[in-house]
Amino acid sequence: MIKGRRSTFAGLLLALVATPAFADGHSETAPVSNEKQTIMPEEEGARAFMEQFGFSEAVIHGDTVYLSGVIAGPATAEMTQEEAFEVTFQYIAGVLERAGSSWDDVIDITTYHVDIDASLLPLAEVKNRYVTAPFPAWTAIDVDRLFAPDGVVEIKVTARVSPAE
């Protein structure tokens, strides 16, 4: 008798673990294409740079959009660090839109900070204007430097393709 209860309990547990729970209320839909699509920059110089190093601005695979890291530079004399981050988040919004996604669809953000103490709060201020509940996962990592020597933060985003309405 106890053995039968354990089997039933194990089956229920497996069903709970194997069934995804969606906090935002979306449900799984029909299968999506497994073909990889790439998004490249519209600006010729940026496109040439990415082609030289062999990477895409974003890749769409199935219903997931993977953005390459976007580097936010230091604030200029005319703008604050927060305003510089705003420009970067607007740029990311444009890439997401071209990929059929939006900030509402972001599921994971990874940020790499040259000086996490100086950049985390102004970055969070801007991020919180674009990212609302249910919140994505976010990992912030302090690093020695970025590809661009004057870069302050690099932002890498993973999102889902916006559900059809």
In angstroms, how far is CA 43 from the centroid of its own chain? 22
Q: Which of 69, 30, 22, 55 is nearest to 164 (CA)?
A: 30
Task: Report how far residue 47's alpha carbon sits from residue 57's, in angstroms, rounded to the nearest whole number.
Answer: 9
For residue 46, is pLDDT > 80?
Answer: yes
Rounded mean pLDDT of the chain? 83
- Residue 32 binned pLDDT confidence (cut-offs 50, 70, 90): low
- Tokens 């102004």 belong to residue: 122
- Residue 87 binned pLDDT confidence (cut-offs 50, 70, 90): very high
For residue 129, is pLDDT > 50?
Answer: yes
The correct answer on CATH 2.60.40.420 for the domain covering 34-160 is no
Task: Report how far residue 87's alpha carbon sits from residue 43's, in angstroms, rounded to the nearest whole number.
Answer: 16
SS3 95: helix
Task: Report how far residue 141's alpha carbon sits from residue 121's, in angstroms, rounded to the nearest whole number.
Answer: 14
User: Which of 36-40, 94-98, 112-116, 139-143 is predicted least confidently?
Assistant: 36-40
For residue 110, is pLDDT > 50?
Answer: yes
pTM of the model: 0.78
